[in-house]
Amino acid sequence: MNQSQDEYWMYHALKLARIAWEQGEVPVGAVLVQGDRAIGEGWNRPIGQHDPTAHAEIMALRQGGKVLENYRLLETTLYVTLEPCVMCSGAIVHSRIARLVYGASDEKAGAAGFLMDILNHQVALQSGVLAEECAAMLNDFFRMRREQKKALRQA
Ligand SMILES: [Zn+2]
């Protein structure tokens, strides 16, 4: 898979992240790809779903499992706009996906460190695809949130 295909799917994941934003959720998007088709799409929606596990990656993996009718998501690539957290990294290992591609790094909640080392042995890992675009969406979202809070306090 070449870089332009990675960027194509990462743009797709960014579109899904935008849906999360519109629903008032932290904008993270994920798409699971097999061959040249998307078999799972997800965006972050824990608030709307009343589900602490409803991260973009989990939603995409669940849908992919239904499409493949298999709990093992062999020969798939997961694209996600933000470095996966510890929970999602565990799910990625269990799902047996072949390749993980993410955009922005997450210094706070990302699974960097020992779990990332485990991931690295289980899947082909590519980071930093459209990293600036992915990080900008999150930064814009949190800036908007801060400004909204400030406006509320001043009202
Ligand atoms: Zn997660």
pLDDT in tens, 30-42: 999 999 999 999 9
Q: How many CB atoms lie within 10 A of CB 109?
A: 13
Q: Is 83 helix (H, G, I), strand (E, B) or coil?
A: coil
pLDDT, one tens digit per residue, over 130-155 is 999 999 999 999 999 999 999 999 87
**pTM assigned to the model:** 0.92
Residue 1 has pLDDT above 70, yes or no: no
Identified catalytic residue from 41, 57, 83, 132:
57
Cα 82 to ligand 1 centroid, rounded to whole Å: 9
Beta strands in 1-140 (DSSP E): 29-34, 37-43, 77-82, 99-104, 124-126
Mean residue pLDDT of the chain comes to 92
User: Is 25 an annotated catalytic residue?
Assistant: no
